[in-house]
C-alpha cells in the first residue's frame, strides 16, 4: 500500500480504541508510534472523584505534558520509519477543557492553547473513531481501569460534541470521521482492513469527511 501521509492522528472519545488502532497501524506499516502518556498523571484519579476542584490543574497538566511530548517526538526525523502515527493530537487538550472548564478558566485556557497550538506540526489527516456513548461505556467497563469507573454517559456526550465543535471551527484541517458503531476492528481482520483502506487509499478534501463502516 502506498502511504501518502507523513503524519496521521487517530482520535476519538474515551474507549473508542485509538491506541489499539494506532499501535496496529504502526506495526503493519513500520510507522513511528506516538502514544499519549496519561497513566502517570497524578490529577486524573482526583479529577474523576472531584471534577470541580481538579479540572483546571488537570487540564493544565495535560496541556504541558502533551506539548512537551509532541515537541520532543515530532521534530526529530526517523529515517527508518515510513511515517508517524499517533493516538492523540494537541487539540485534544482544548476538546476536553471545553467540557470540564467554564467561564474565566476556560477563556484563559483557550488563550494559552492557541498560543502553543501554532508552534506544533499539523497532521496530514485526523481520523476520528466515532461510536455511541453507550458502547463507549461498555468498552470502558471491559478494560476495568478504576479511575474511569465514575465516567458517565453525559460526560462522554459532552466530549463528543466538543470534538465536532473543534472540527467545525477549524475547517482547514482534514478530518475523516469513521462510524465504527457496528464493527469490531480488534476481533475482525476484515473490519480492520476496511478502516486502513479508508484511511490510506481514498483521498479527502479539507474539512469534515464522514464514513460509515
Q: What is the pTM of this model?
A: 0.90
CB 11 within 8 A of CB 210: no
Q: What is the pLDDT of residue 78?
A: 66
Q: What is residue 129's three-state secondary structure?
A: strand
Cell digits for 114? 492557541
Nearest to 63 by CA among 103, 20, 33, 101: 101
Per residue in 145-184, pLDDT tens? Answer: 887 888 899 999 999 999 999 999 999 999 999 999 999 9
In a domain, 26, yes or no: yes
In a domain, 1, yes or no: no
In a domain, 104, yes or no: yes
In a domain, 16, yes or no: yes
Per residue in 50-82, pLDDT tens? Answer: 888 999 999 999 999 999 999 888 876 666 677
Concatenated DSSP letters for 181-197? Answer: TT--TTT-HHHHHHHHH
In a domain, 193, yes or no: yes
DSSP state of 81: S
- State the residue range of the domain holding 166: 7-212
Per residue in 9-49, pLDDT tens? Answer: 999 999 999 999 999 999 999 999 999 987 678 888 888 88
CB 11 within 8 A of CB 163: yes
State the average pLDDT for the chain: 91
Residue 203 CA from chain centroid, whole number:
21
Active site residues: 87
In a domain, 13, yes or no: yes
CATH number at residue 53: 3.40.50.300
Per residue in 186-206, pLDDT tens? Answer: 999 999 999 999 999 999 999
Q: How many domains does the chain have?
A: 1
In a domain, 141, yes or no: yes
In a domain, 2, yes or no: no
Q: What is the pLDDT of residue 39?
A: 63
Amino acid at each position: 500500500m502506498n502511504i501518502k501521509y507523513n503524519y496521521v492522528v487517530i482520535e476519538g472519545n474515551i474507549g473508542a480504541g485509538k491506541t489499539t488502532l494506532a499501535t496496529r497501524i504502526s506495526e503493519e506499516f513500520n510507522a513511528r508510534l506516538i502514544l499519549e502518556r496519561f497513566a502517570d498523571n497524578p490529577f486524573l484519579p482526583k479529577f474523576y472523584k472531584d471534577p470541580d476542584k481538579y479540572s483546571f490543574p488537570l487540564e493544565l497538566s495535560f496541556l504541558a505534558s502533551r506539548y512537551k511530548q509532541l515537541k520532543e517526538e515530532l521534530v526529530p526525523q526517523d529515517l527508518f520509519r515510513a511515517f508517524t502515527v499517533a493516538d492523540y493530537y494537541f487539540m485534544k487538550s482544548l476538546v476536553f477543557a471545553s467540557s470540564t472548564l467554564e467561564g474565566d478558566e476556560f477563556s484563559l485556557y483557550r488563550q494559552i492553547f492557541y498560543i502553543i497550538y501554532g508552534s506544533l506540526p499539523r497532521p496530514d489527516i485526523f481520523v476520528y473513531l466515532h461510536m455511541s456513548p453507550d458502547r463507549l461505556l461498555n468498552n470502558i467497563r471491559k478494560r476495568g481501569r478504576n479511575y474511569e469507573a465514575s465516567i458517565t454517559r453525559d460526560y462522554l456526550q459532552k466530549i463528543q460534541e466538543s470534538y465536532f465543535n473543534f472540527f467545525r471551527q477549524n475547517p482547514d484541517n482534514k478530518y475523516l470521521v469513521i462510524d465504527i458503531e457496528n464493527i469490531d476492528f480488534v476481533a475482525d481482520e476484515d473490519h480492520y482492513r476496511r478502516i486502513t483502506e479508508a484511511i490510506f487509499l481514498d483521498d479527502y478534501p479539507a474539512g469534515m469527511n464522514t464514513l460509515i463502516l
